[in-house]
Amino acid sequence: MTAHPVTHPDSQPVVHPVDEKLPALKMATTGLQHVAAMYAGVVAPPLIVGAAIGLSGTELTFLTGACLFTAGLATFLQTLGIWKIGARLPFVNGVTFAGVAPMTAIVASTEGKSDALPIIFGAVMVAGLLGFIAAPFFSKAIRFFPPVVTGTVITLIGVSLLPVAFGWAQGPNPAAHDYGSTRFLGLAGLTLLIVLLLRRFTTGFVKQIAVLLGLVVGTLVAIPFGVTDFGPVTDADVVGFPTPFHFGAPQFQLAAIVSMIVVMVVSMTESTADMLALGEIVERPADERTIAAGLRADTLGSALSPLFNGFMCSAFAQNIGLVAMTRIRSRFVVATGGGFLVLMGLCPMAASLIAVVPRPVLGGAGVVLFGSVAASGIQTLVRAGLDKDNNVLIVAVSLAVGIVPITAPDFYHAFPETVRIVLDSGISTGCVAAVVLNLLFNHLGRQRDAQDVTHPMEAGEEIAAAH
């Protein structure tokens, strides 16, 4: 959606903060901050899938670099846009984690492991193209997302991401004997403290890059404790290009295609929720046209990603927290971050610099970032009219449904794997629950919005009169 500048009498056109171009230094540092916030999320899927296939260290590095490169291209599509493609919001795109489980299942069911990646790439391409076609129809669901629904979903996005930060804070390897040790938790706590102090006692530019500074200081502090590993930098090549179809031409198998289509539907649902959340935060609400354009960028990025050996791309919710906290809303800042991602894909040594940041340090910063998303959701819920008993019930049940995969990860263990792809995403299940309950309570049948109560279980007027 093309933005039109707002004009005032006797003044120059006022550019919306989303379309503002900042000074070069500020653009670079804040863009790098976005990369630091999402780096671990981008490299985790290729590392997991590559390890399941049994790729060598060199091939694993190549696959990771390819995913960084394609994430940068997808971010360009989303932030800068072409034609009717791209939400043109400060939206970071990268490899969706929703595809990890089905991709590892594809690997496990493939006899020749050398064919696993081509089968995955073929399935992702088909799912991406079908998603691109369906984007304008999918976007019409926006009318089912009033504030009571969007606030619930935004809150769930933040709550769903917090366990990721807690996992980072405990260390890089869950199987290690020192996982969750006081050393790791202390580094996470120190990083969190640094970010909070910078946000409290500094102003201007320093305050806005508090997360990046916290990551730098936390990494330096971690060196004496032996937590910072500079091995990735010394072992990385200076130049490397993700050769198209490096792992072989794509193969098309029906079962793999169906599983990735399911992932695409989940991804589009989460992206829609993320766009609505980001639109609220940057004060440019995402309408149907914006969502359609954003979904086109997601799906086209996914369809093209396998060409350069990348996986399915989707919006990164953790970066929404960064926008909410820093209040830097320029889409060109995020596009700069996309440039860094492309550079890392072309220069493995540059990519390895971010890999130096210890996981506990990322975890400390993640608490602030992901908590900010949840706080933004609560702000939206405040405006949703929670003085109505219907809305209180919608929020209560939807949050409960969305939190199930977080608090009880094995809750749906008896369901088929394809169904669990959806059920194990708290954002998706909570979103569906909120939409259905909103239709049930606020649109179908008799309206009861006029009954203002303070609690969903409060007695009605007839019962109160009887007592």
How far apart (Å, rounded) are the C-alpha atoms in residues 241 and 344? 10
| Structural contact between residues 260 and 126, judged by C-beta atoms closer than 8 angstroms | yes
pTM tops 0.75: no
Closest by Cα among 372, 90, 19 to 211: 372
Q: What is the pLDDT of residue 449?
A: 47
| Structural contact between residues 89 and 143, judged by C-beta atoms closer than 8 angstroms | no
How far apart (Å, rounded) are the C-alpha atoms in residues 436 and 1? 29
**Per-residue pLDDT averaged across 362-389, rounded?**
80
Query: Is the predicted pLDDT of residue 465 greater than 50, yes or no?
Result: no
Helices (H), 11-146: 24-53, 57-79, 100-109, 116-138
Q: For residue 270, which amino acid is it?
A: E
Going from N- to C-terminal start, the domains of the chain cover 17-459
How far apart (Å, rounded) are the C-alpha atoms in residues 88 and 425? 26
- The pair of structure tokens assigned to 227 is 């937590």
The pLDDT tens digits for 31-83 are 888 887 777 667 767 877 887 787 776 777 788 888 889 999 999 998 998 88
Closest by Cα among 438, 357, 393, 417 to 105: 417
Closest by Cα among 23, 22, 69 to 43: 69
Query: Is the predicted pLDDT of residue 456 greater than 50, yes or no?
Result: no
Q: What is the pLDDT of residue 73?
A: 92
Q: What is the pLDDT of residue 466?
A: 44
Query: Is the predicted pLDDT of residue 352 greater than 80, yes or no?
Result: no
| Structural contact between residues 86 and 335, judged by C-beta atoms closer than 8 angstroms | no
Q: What is the pLDDT of residue 81?
A: 85
**Per-residue pLDDT averaged across 80-99, rounded?**
84
* Residue indicated by tokens 């702000």: 379
Element (H, E) at 188: helix 182-201
Q: What is the pLDDT of residue 192?
A: 93
**Per-residue pLDDT averaged across 368-378, rounded?**
79
Confidence class for position 194, pLDDT limits 50, 70, 90: very high
The pLDDT tens digits for 260-311 are 887 788 778 778 878 888 888 888 888 888 899 999 999 999 999 999 988 9
Buried b (16+ CB within 10 A) or exposed e, 437-455: bbeebbeeeeeeeeeebee
Element (H, E) at 93: strand 93-95
Q: What is the pLDDT of residue 188?
A: 93
Query: Is the predicted pLDDT of residue 407 greater than 80, yes or no?
Result: yes
**Per-residue pLDDT averaged across 235-250, rounded?**
80
For residue 23, give Cα distances in angstroms to 3, 28, 85, 313, 343. 21, 9, 27, 29, 20
Q: What is the mean pLDDT of the chain?
A: 80
Confidence class for position 458, pLDDT limits 50, 70, 90: very low
Q: Exposed/middle/buried for 166, CB within 10 Å: 0-12, 13-18, 19+?
A: middle
